[in-house]
Structures are given as structure tokens and as C-alpha cells.
Amino acid sequence: MIIIELLVSLFIVYLVVLIIYLLGSKKRKYGDTYHCGERLIGNKVKYKVPWIYFASLLIAFDAAIVLIAITSLSLNIVTVIFLALITLSLFFIPKEKEGENDD
Amino acid sequence: MIKIAMILIWILLSFIFALFYEWFDRKVYAHFQNRVGPQMAGYKGILQPLADFIKLLNKQSIFPKGSNTFLINFSAISSVALMFFILLFIPLYNLNAPLSLSGDLILLFGIGVFIDLLIIITGYSVACPYSNEGAARKAEMIISFEIPFGISIATIIAISKSITIKDSLLFQSLGIPLIIFMPLSFIAYIFSSIAKIEKAPFDAPIAESEIVAGWTTEISGRTLALFRLSFDLDMYFVASFGAILFLGGPALPYFNYPGLLFLNQTLNFVMFFIKTSLIVFLITMIRSITARYRIDQVINYFWKVIIPLAMLNLIIIIIFGMG
């Protein structure tokens, strides 16, 4: 029942936003990239390796949140140890070299 | 049928609140800078955000050649629709909202992350280096601010022993706001919220003096109108969510006099409105008095200051809860 309620609500909000969108101007034009006076080519930005460590930690913390959510009614020592371990992992983040992160 | 009517009313109220808080934010920000702020449309310029929205909606959309316009428009529509959707879980005048389910705290957190991912998709769908850089910065920001945001929610779950908004409100309706038990989590929540809505000092993804307008550089017309509405809805969401989770929302003090339904609901709504406005004021004040951090400084700040703060509060709560 609740799933149907959620789906209907989602359908209604999408419908409302779609109506707002269709009320807007349909004029569309394709032009050059904004150059700000310089000649720039639209290319992808390269990711740096240290961000992978952060991304891994993000997953660990997100897992912790789910873990806490599930065990919210009976928080136990396993949760505390898990949290302590991922907090400790913060100290092992590789340091960046000078100037490596300059934009 | 009543449920559908309630959903439509909630959408309308969310729209009005979002535009009102944009005006409020702009007005307060202007006063902090010794300016007047919006003043032309409506009383003291209160209709300026609505005028801006209608104007943008009627402008031509211009995209750079090679952009994926389907993904850009899909992201714009989805981000606004999902913002409206999560606002359906926010109770305004009593403990009930149009939608409520077991685990809604986690659901709202998850949808919030998804909306941020839509922004990254948009930035990478535009063939423009400024947009790409804005999207990359947004991705780097997400791995910083989502964690303290999530830990704050986890602390609330740990303290109220429930994963529903209604239960956390019920807990607070007894007379004690959760901010008393978790001030550090509140600080973490406020700073994460500022980063989430891309306001100074965490506005690196749209830093106008560095990357023009970041991921919104090449967005125009009705697509930009929707993205701007999504920003406003996001600000209203983080403020109202914070008011509910930490300050008791409409349930503290909970007016429930028998036979005075309308008065009770009005008073509860006024309490909710005051608390939400206070959080918006706090966010605006912080953004008025601080300068922009570089993206590496943002990451360092969140990982070395905000996350440990949020973790400390969570560990204290868990230890006390276990005792």
C-alpha cells in the first residue's frame, strides 16, 4: 500500500514539474561554448588518485550509517568498533605533494 | 482523493516557501552588506524570486554544440520533482505529513545524495570546461559534506531509537529539543547544509570569480529556471529538516488543546516557520561573514574538523545509550 502511495506521489510531482517545464519557452538554439574571451575546448577534467581514498572512505561511512540505522534499537559493541576503525582510517589518508592540488 | 489534494497543497506550499526563503536570504544578505536588496516587485521585493522565475521560464534556451540536452533537461526536471517529493515528508503543522514510512530519514538522505549526483551529470553533459570543472568540484564536495550530514542523521537515529521523522518529533514533543543532546551534530549539519546548497564559504562548484558560474555556466532558459527553483527548494528543505530534527519543528512546544484544532495547528505552524527561518538566517549570516574556501581547503576542513565533530557526538550518544 505504501509503495503505491509513494509511486503515485512521485508520479504527481513529476507531472507538476513537467507542466511547469512545458509552460516555459520552447525556443532552443545551439551555439559555441562560452569562451570568456579565450579559446577553450570543452574537455573532461581528470580525477586525481587521492580522491579514490576519499571515495572508499565515503562508502565505509555510508555503510556505517546503514549499520547504525539497522541496529538502532540495539546498538552494540560491533558498531562502536566499526566506527572506531573507520575513524582511525582518517589518519592514513595519503598526503598530497606541494602544488599537486592547485586548480 | 484527499491524499492527492494534500500532496498538491504541499507542493504549492513548498513552492511558496522556497521562493519566500530565497527572498529572505537575498534581503538578509544585502543588509549584511549594507545594501537594500530586492525591492521592486511586490512589498519590499518579496515577489522578486517569482518574477525572476517567470522571466527565466520564458527565455530561450541556448546550449553549446555537443551537449547532451536530454540529460540536462532530465536532470533539471528530476531535481525539482525529487525535491518536491522529499518535501512531502516534512510535517508543517502537526506530527503528520502527506507521506510517512518506516525509514523515511534514510530515504530522504538517499534521495538528497541522488539529487547532488544529478548536478554532476548535468555538469558533465555540457560541452564546456567551466561546467566540467564545476561538476568535478561538486563531486569532490559530495565526498566531504555527505558524511557529516549522514552522521548527524545517524545520531538522531541513535538517540530517538527510530528511523522515522515522526518518532523523532514524538521524542521532542515531550519537551526537549535534540539540539541539547547533540550540539556538535547540529554544527556539522549546518555546515554540511551550506555545502549542500552551494553557498559561501563552500560555493566552489559555482565560484563566479574562478569558473564563471561553474556547472550552471551554459544552462539557460527554462532549464536554468528549474535548477534555480531546485536550489531554493533545497535551501527550504535543509532548513525545515534541521528545524524538525534538532529544534522540534512543529512539535515543540506541541499545542494540542482539545476542541481548538485550528488554533493548535496555526500555533504549531508558526513554531515551525520561526525555527525554519532561524536556520535560514543562520546560513545566510555564515555566508555573509565568510570568504570562499578553495576546493582542497573545503575537503580538509570537512574531513579534519566537521567529520570528527559529528563522530564525537555520535560516539558519546552511543556510549551513553549503551550505558
What pLDDT does B162 receive? 78
Confidence check: pLDDT of A103 > 50: no
Match 562508502 to its residue by C-alpha cell: A59
At B144-176, the pLDDT tens digits run 888 888 888 888 888 887 778 888 888 888 878
CA distance B136 to A44: 9
By the 8 A CB rule, do B108 and B149 touch?
Answer: no
CB-count burial class (<10 Å; 0-12, 13-18, 19+) for B19: buried
CA distance A49 to A100: 11
CA torsion, points A79, A80, A83, A88, in degrees to nearest 10?
-140
User: Is the pTM higher than 0.90?
Assistant: no
What pLDDT does B27 receive? 93
What pLDDT does A68 receive? 63
Report the percent of chain B where pLDDT is more than 70: 99
Taking contacts as CB-CB distances below 8 angstroms, the residues of chain B near A20 are 57, 80, 226
What pLDDT does B235 receive? 93
B251 DSSP assignment: G
At A26-82, the pLDDT tens digits run 777 776 666 555 666 655 555 555 665 666 667 667 666 665 655 555 556 666 676
Please give the interface size between A and B, counted as residue pairs whose CB atoms are below 8 Å apart. Answer: 186
What pLDDT does A43 receive? 57
Instruction: Tell which B residues from 120 to 149 touch A, by Cβ distance under 8 Å.
Output: 124, 126-130, 132-133, 135-136, 140, 143-144, 146-147
Which cell numbers in the block locate residue B56?
527565466
Mutate to test the interface with A, among B108, B147, B220 (most CBs of A within 10 A): B147
pLDDT band at residue B28 using 50, 70 and 90 as cut-offs: very high
Confidence check: pLDDT of A98 > 60: no
Taking contacts as CB-CB distances below 8 angstroms, the residues of chain A near B301 are none
Nearest to A5 among B78, B99, B109 (CB): B99
Taking contacts as CB-CB distances below 8 angstroms, the residues of chain A near B316 are none
Q: Which residues contact A45 (CB under 8 A, 6 or more apart)?
A: B129, B132, B133, B135, B136
C-alpha atoms less than 13 angstroms from C-alpha of B238 in its C-beta half-sphere: 30
Return phi, psi of residue B177, to 5°. -70, 145
CA distance B221 to B37: 24
Residue with the bigger pLDDT between A88 and B18: it is: B18
What is the SS3 assignment for B54-83?
HHHHCCCEEEECCCCHHHHHHHHHHHHHHH
Number of domains in chain B: 1
At B59-91, the pLDDT tens digits run 888 888 777 888 888 989 999 999 999 999 999
What pLDDT does B174 receive? 80
Q: Checking DSSP bridges between strand B61-64 and strand A28-31, what pairing results, if any?
A: parallel
Report the range of poorest mean pLDDT among A58-62, B117-121, B238-242, B310-314: A58-62
Instruction: Tell which B residues from 260 to 289 touch A, by Cβ distance under 8 Å.
Output: none
Alpha-carbon distance B196 to nearest alpha carbon in chain A (angstroms): 16
What pLDDT does B323 receive? 38
Confidence check: pLDDT of B111 > 80: yes
Instruction: Tell which B residues from 61 to 100 touch A, by Cβ distance under 8 Å.
Output: 61-67, 69, 73, 76-78, 80-82, 84-85, 88, 98-99
What pLDDT does B41 receive? 84
Buried b (16+ CB within 10 A) or exposed e, A75-96: beeebeeebeebbeeeeeeeee
Chain B residue closest in CA terms to A86: B311
Quote the ipTM score. Answer: 0.84
Q: Print the domain residue range for B269.
A: 2-322
What pLDDT does B316 receive? 85
What pLDDT does B1 receive? 76
CA distance B151 to A68: 10
Instruction: Tell which A residues from 1 to 60 touch B, by Cβ distance under 8 Å.
Output: 2, 5-6, 8-10, 12-14, 16-18, 20-21, 23-25, 27-34, 36, 40-45, 47, 51, 54-55, 57-58
Chain A residue closest in CA terms to B135: A45
